[in-house]
Chain A
């Protein structure tokens, strides 16, 4: 969930330390944190990774990448106590959070070994040991007592000293905390903990040294096992959640959701059969569903030109009123042209443009080896490639570059493959979902999904001989021309409706395909993947439905999206159980 950006903190700290061995440790830390706390968004709520050099009392010294703490005060009276907090508070989305502290040295002889390990809120006095003040909690080594926001401790566990590893586990589901000593759980120490606590350690004896482990190393205590127990508990809670007051209501609702979902995606045969067997009415005319199905089939098989044409025929005003949608469809058409799948380039390639039925399995009628050199898989600089490309196309390069307005594209290959989707996270989930279903139900071409499946297959088999626009010279020219039209459409749109960064980026990414000798294996090659047709397809479908005053999202997708949103809301409001209830777990 944390996405590709979760590595940011890691990259930054590598730069700071510039140490190879350290980067190994950081890598391990990142890996462990990700596997322990998959629900935590590191951008929103960063995890504690070290002690904070800013949030500490002056008697505290830090070393070893701010993981080692030593005491440098006098240590004579409790007034000499000193604490340090971790860099960040514990995110609720951890569900269960754990860190360990190893006692490296108990400090000089002749002193009472005051040493406290625990938690405190932001702002709690650092000239104190954890546990002594409000919103501060600690387990002390000298007497083994626990201190719950109070100067007097309660008997809790054994004492601890040099060599011992003390762990502190915060359960953000029931807001309790327990400690471990050398891998053994000591039992609940605190209940009713407030949110946003920081790992904290306090010392009061000269020579005291402790090391923290926030996940840099494997933990002595088996925290994963404890988390397993809670995951099971939460999932049992979800499974046993009481639903529906009256009998049958729940089932009827689910049937409704399934039916509406099938209709939405125009699986009309299935929808009809399902509605019949569950005794439901379908709220859309069959013809209308079939129309949508036809368009979707075209989009999903990459025949964008026909798809746009058909849409304009069946829903005359739709694309006129929705120029952004039209632009998106056209950009996709451009991509399909590059792919060699769009009808316009396919007909130029010698294929019958309307040979719909023979498309998936039909053998390629020709293979003009225009440039064999392109089989080289290595990336080349854009300037070089564009040069080569236009050279082999026997068109004056400068001329064409100017004409087609593609000159600026040479920079774009630096743009990393990243968050190109405007769609919110929820929509992503939906897409993913619909994807899974359509694939699994590919039992008849009526549902329009079989094309998709075969298409993928074809892509794979054609991997070695993939060529730009299907390899036809005329098609390439048509594609270039289409690109120019697209460019001007984009400029037109900008003049009419102001800047649209999404549109701009979309176009940029699409044009970037031309910057590589093998666009399919380039950093922007993902656009050519047939799976990218699906968001386009679903956006177009939603737009059509909206014109019919039907919901643009099926209720099922809405519910899934809502559940996902609810989980992230839970994470923000401090409900730890969200950690163990990923929506994905329920979408097999």
Chain B
């Protein structure tokens, strides 16, 4: 009891003392004598440096609005206004909450307004504070672009001093997040204004200018195309970047310069076989993946490298033999390492934080490496525990990792050999199927695309996948709003139906339902339409299957075919449709669906005389099937078609310049002669 009594007042007094001193600082801001106010601000500046507690106190006590008021008052002395900006900059250096409070007090427009002053010292103080506010993740970057006069004014301030250069480029580098931002900065001459800063004597300015270019050029063709023609002190910009990648330069500089060149290359501004890409950028990025680099650098390095070589098989080949990259990446999966767990909690925390990022980056890079070359894919799958890592990656909690893992799997699934061996051995279809049950669209697209490959007829995984109820799943994908998912769903079904047995085919038709099938045939996406036709064609192969399906769904199928042939479609679509018709003509009973449909026969006739050889060929094939000698009722069909003038057309086609068409017509004519 005594102890409590003694302790309680003590604590209160300490607390009140703290707030009392803080309050004193704030009170002095309201002093009537401007000289006292100035001294008060200066004292406040000295009190808050490095003292987060004090900063929080002052903010709570309402110092910010008063400081902003003093800063904006034209009656304030320049010295006072400058000191205010300095104190605000110091407050911004504190916690994220501090930044939030500052932003809520509308510090940004106030400071931007301050930039219109002519005094350089004051401008620098404002810019320094703005920089600190803008680089915080809690500040909405949009605030930089609200007033359209701000960006041009910042551009004009770039020439004022090294400090304005450093702060402004840093602000730009952090606040350029969208294509719109890129365009705004570009239109206000960012490139011409910032390029000279790349050779500034100040390390900081050079670095921030470089960062600006990396964010400006990212996925931006306009910027990238402009950059290649920029000269800095008579030297091409790409060469300036190459120099910044030299191995004695700071790692951050090397990495950022490599990003700039990567983005320029991907935008088509630099060829992929240019020496600055092949001999400089690529090796630099591979070095960034090495164990010596920080985890963050390794993540960025791998992601950038994956992006650089994605479309170019030659770069993939070079990277695959550079500095043991493939096995170097295996190390990305060893975090947190068992050593770090025991020895060092801080390190463990750090490792854990980056473990997901590292894994997804490695998967991305593997995906990019293996997207074209069979040998590289083999090398990747032979890397220690690679397939196991992909399998476990597919079921990780982080969506980013799952997505990257499935991308990697997809890339490797383009290999016939891997489908036959490692994919089957590791039963990758299982986690893949699981992934497909419940995942965001992004993941679904990749996963279903991979599934398409796993369902190819030579894939040993095809059977177990079929048994796992995949048909329902794929059918549901065809109903998705995303065209990519619809394509993949129907594509997988098409692959599945290829040379499949009757049971599977019937199951597909049943599960999909004719209604959905016809909906897909009128899909706005040509890809979906093509794959649906492909599915139909695969379903309608071998005579018993044709007759069976046509007997149950003949009417609808014939309707759909008519519809497509009458509609506005590409040659490919029409050709595929005519091929389906030819398959139908190959059936025993299904034939009659065509023979009794004069309208359809007229259409075939039309396409036999079409200007496109492919369509002529498909149509002729169809007729050829109808008049084939060895089948029941061939005589009557021949007669009917002869009456309709098909023989004359066939006769004409035997003179066709296309040898295939000519042969096909001759074979058909022979049916009449026999």
Given contacts A183-B279, A184-B283, A185-B283, contact A157 B321 (CB under 8 A): yes
Min CB distance A68 to B, Å, is: 26
Min CB distance B7 to A, Å, is: 40
Min CB distance A237 to B, Å, is: 14
The contact sample of 7 A-B pairs, CB cut-off 8 A, is A158-B321, A183-B279, A185-B322, A186-B324, A226-B247, A229-B247, A232-B247
Q: Does A228 make an interface contact (CB < 8 A)? A: yes
Q: Does A187 make an interface contact (CB < 8 A)? A: yes
Query: Which residues of chain B are within 8 angstroms of A222 by Cβ–Cβ distance?
Result: 279
Q: Does A410 make an interface contact (CB < 8 A)? A: no
Query: Which residues of chain A are within 8 angstroms of B247 by Cβ–Cβ distance?
Result: 225-226, 228-229, 232
Q: Does A231 make an interface contact (CB < 8 A)? A: yes
Q: Are B323 and A186 interface neighbours, CB within 8 A? A: yes
* Interface secondary structure of A, over-half rule: mixed
Identity of the chain B residue whose Cβ is nearest the Cβ of A156 in the assembled complex: B324
Q: Are A229 and B248 interface neighbours, CB within 8 A? A: yes
Q: Does B73 make an interface contact (CB < 8 A)? A: no
- Give A225 to B318 CA distance when docked, in angstroms: 19
Q: Does B246 make an interface contact (CB < 8 A)? A: yes
- Give A196 to B247 CA distance when docked, in angstroms: 27
Interface centre among B246, B248, B328 (most CB of A within 10 A): B248
Interface residues as binary, A187-225 with B (CB distance below 8 Å gives 1, 0 otherwise): 110000000000000000000000000000000001001
Query: Which residues of chain A are within 8 angstroms of B321 by Cβ–Cβ distance?
Result: 157-158, 181, 184, 186
- Give A158 to B326 CA distance when docked, in angstroms: 13
Q: Are B323 and A232 interface neighbours, CB within 8 A? A: no
Q: Are B323 and A187 interface neighbours, CB within 8 A? A: yes
- Which of B's residues lie within 8 Å of A, judged by CB? 246-248, 279, 283, 318, 321-324, 328
Identity of the chain B residue whose Cβ is nearest the Cβ of A220 in the assembled complex: B279
Query: Which residues of chain B are within 8 angstroms of A225 by Cβ–Cβ distance?
Result: 246-247
- Give A157 to B322 CA distance when docked, in angstroms: 9
Min CB distance B80 to A, Å, is: 39
Interface residues as binary, A164-188 with B (CB distance below 8 Å gives 1, 0 otherwise): 0000000000000000010111111
Query: Which residues of chain A are within 8 angstroms of B322 by Cβ–Cβ distance?
Result: 184-187
Query: Which residues of chain A are within 8 angstroms of B283 by Cβ–Cβ distance?
Result: 184-185
Query: Which residues of chain B are within 8 angstroms of A181 by Cβ–Cβ distance?
Result: 321
- Give A157 to B248 CA distance when docked, in angstroms: 26
Interface centre among B321, B322, B323 (most CB of A within 10 A): B321
Q: Are B248 and A184 interface neighbours, CB within 8 A? A: no
- Give A185 to B279 CA distance when docked, in angstroms: 10
Q: Are A184 and B318 interface neighbours, CB within 8 A? A: yes
- Give A434 to B424 CA distance when docked, in angstroms: 77
Min CB distance B244 to A, Å, is: 12
Identity of the chain B residue whose Cβ is nearest the Cβ of A227 in the assembled complex: B247
Q: Which 5 A-B pairs have the closest CB atoms?
A: A229-B247, A187-B324, A228-B248, A187-B323, A232-B248
- Give A184 to B247 CA distance when docked, in angstroms: 15
Min CB distance A240 to B, Å, is: 16
Min CB distance A354 to B, Å, is: 52
Query: Which residues of chain B are within 8 angstroms of A232 by Cβ–Cβ distance?
Result: 247-248
Query: Which residues of chain A are within 8 angstroms of B246 by Cβ–Cβ distance?
Result: 225, 228
Identity of the chain B residue whose Cβ is nearest the Cβ of A185 in the assembled complex: B323
Given contacts A183-B279, A184-B318, contact A231 B323 (CB under 8 A): no
Other than the given A228-B247, A228-B248, 12 more pairs (CB < 8 A) read A157-B321, A183-B279, A184-B321, A184-B322, A185-B322, A185-B323, A187-B322, A187-B324, A222-B279, A226-B247, A229-B247, A231-B248
- Give A187 to B324 CA distance when docked, in angstroms: 6
- Give A228 to B324 CA distance when docked, in angstroms: 22
Query: Which residues of chain B are within 8 angstroms of A229 by Cβ–Cβ distance?
Result: 247-248
- Give A226 to B323 CA distance when docked, in angstroms: 13
Query: Which residues of chain B are within 8 angstroms of A231 by Cβ–Cβ distance?
Result: 248
Min CB distance A224 to B, Å, is: 9
Query: Which residues of chain B are within 8 angstroms of A188 by Cβ–Cβ distance?
Result: 324
Query: Which residues of chain B are within 8 angstroms of A158 by Cβ–Cβ distance?
Result: 321
- Give A188 to B283 CA distance when docked, in angstroms: 14
Query: Which residues of chain B are within 8 angstroms of A186 by Cβ–Cβ distance?
Result: 321-324
- Give A523 to B321 CA distance when docked, in angstroms: 57
Identity of the chain B residue whose Cβ is nearest the Cβ of A229 in the assembled complex: B247
Min CB distance B461 to A, Å, is: 29
Identity of the chain A residue whose Cβ is nearest the Cβ of B282 in the assembled complex: A184
Interface centre among A157, A184, A185 (most CB of B within 10 A): A184
Min CB distance B318 to A, Å, is: 6
Min CB distance A178 to B, Å, is: 8
Min CB distance A506 to B, Å, is: 45
Query: Which residues of chain A are within 8 angstroms of B248 by Cβ–Cβ distance?
Result: 228-229, 231-232
Identity of the chain A residue whose Cβ is nearest the Cβ of B317 in the assembled complex: A158
Min CB distance A438 to B, Å, is: 30
Interface residues as binary, A229-248 with B (CB distance below 8 Å gives 1, 0 otherwise): 10110000000000000000
Query: Which residues of chain A are within 8 angstroms of B279 by Cβ–Cβ distance?
Result: 183-184, 222
Min CB distance A56 to B, Å, is: 31
- Give A229 to B292 CA distance when docked, in angstroms: 13
Identity of the chain B residue whose Cβ is nearest the Cβ of A226 in the assembled complex: B247
- Give A449 to B490 CA distance when docked, in angstroms: 92
Identity of the chain A residue whose Cβ is nearest the Cβ of B375 in the assembled complex: A158
- Give A186 to B247 CA distance when docked, in angstroms: 17
Min CB distance A121 to B, Å, is: 26
Identity of the chain B residue whose Cβ is nearest the Cβ of A189 in the assembled complex: B324
Min CB distance B118 to A, Å, is: 41
- Give A185 to B328 CA distance when docked, in angstroms: 14
Min CB distance A52 to B, Å, is: 31
Interface residues as binary, A390-432 with B (CB distance below 8 Å gives 1, 0 otherwise): 0000000000000000000000000000000000000000000
Min CB distance A33 to B, Å, is: 21
Query: Which residues of chain B are within 8 angstroms of A183 by Cβ–Cβ distance?
Result: 279
Min CB distance A126 to B, Å, is: 30
Query: Which residues of chain B are within 8 angstroms of A226 by Cβ–Cβ distance?
Result: 247
Query: Which residues of chain B are within 8 angstroms of A184 by Cβ–Cβ distance?
Result: 279, 283, 318, 321-322
Interface residues as binary, A370-408 with B (CB distance below 8 Å gives 1, 0 otherwise): 000000000000000000000000000000000000000
Query: Which residues of chain A are within 8 angstroms of B318 by Cβ–Cβ distance?
Result: 184
- Give A324 to B142 CA distance when docked, in angstroms: 84
Min CB distance A402 to B, Å, is: 65
Interface centre among B247, B283, B324 (most CB of A within 10 A): B247
- Give A188 to B327 CA distance when docked, in angstroms: 12
Query: Which residues of chain B are within 8 angstroms of A185 by Cβ–Cβ distance?
Result: 283, 322-323
- Give A229 to B250 CA distance when docked, in angstroms: 10
- Give A181 to B319 CA distance when docked, in angstroms: 12
Min CB distance B564 to A, Å, is: 50
- Give A261 to B410 CA distance when docked, in angstroms: 72
Query: Which residues of chain A are within 8 angstroms of B323 by Cβ–Cβ distance?
Result: 185-187
Min CB distance B553 to A, Å, is: 55
- Give A73 to B248 CA distance when docked, in angstroms: 46
Identity of the chain A residue whose Cβ is nearest the Cβ of B245 in the assembled complex: A225
- Give A231 to B249 CA distance when docked, in angstroms: 11
Min CB distance A400 to B, Å, is: 63
Min CB distance B286 to A, Å, is: 8
- Give A232 to B322 CA distance when docked, in angstroms: 23
Min CB distance A585 to B, Å, is: 14
Identity of the chain A residue whose Cβ is nearest the Cβ of B284 in the assembled complex: A225
- Give A184 to B281 CA distance when docked, in angstroms: 12
Min CB distance B628 to A, Å, is: 53
- Give A519 to B323 CA distance when docked, in angstroms: 60
- Give A196 to B318 CA distance when docked, in angstroms: 32
Identity of the chain B residue whose Cβ is nearest the Cβ of A181 in the assembled complex: B321
Min CB distance B103 to A, Å, is: 40
Min CB distance A140 to B, Å, is: 15
- Give A228 to B287 CA distance when docked, in angstroms: 14
Identity of the chain A residue whose Cβ is nearest the Cβ of B320 in the assembled complex: A158
- Give A226 to B287 CA distance when docked, in angstroms: 11
Min CB distance A186 to B, Å, is: 6
Min CB distance A453 to B, Å, is: 30
Min CB distance A581 to B, Å, is: 15
Min CB distance B167 to A, Å, is: 29
Min CB distance A444 to B, Å, is: 33
